[in-house]
Amino acid sequence: VYRELGREDEAVRSFETGLHAFLKSSKKEILSAIASTGKLEKATEEALSAAIKEFKDRFVKENAAAVAA
């Protein structure tokens, strides 16, 4: 069933797409560590959490109207 995306859906998709791009371009070492070990080691998990927070803070600043909606 097709339905139009609501504003929240669009914001979530935008966040997810942006996060993936951010990790691929700026945090390659995190993705490489996960791919090479097949695990989420403690240090990698901490680095990933920090990267997500960094991206989230930037996303919220740049998309204040979408986040507030």
Q: What is the per-residue pLDDT across 39-61, written as a single tens digit (0 to 9) for each?
A: 999 999 999 999 999 999 999 99
Cα–Cα distance measured from residue 62 to residue 69, given in angstroms and rounded to the nearest whole number = 14
Contact 48, 37 (CB under 8 A): no
pLDDT of 4 > 60? The answer is no
Contact 10, 66 (CB under 8 A): yes
pLDDT computed for residue 8 by the predictor: 72
Q: What is the pTM of this model?
A: 0.80
Reported confidence tier of residue 2, pLDDT bands at 50, 70, 90: very low
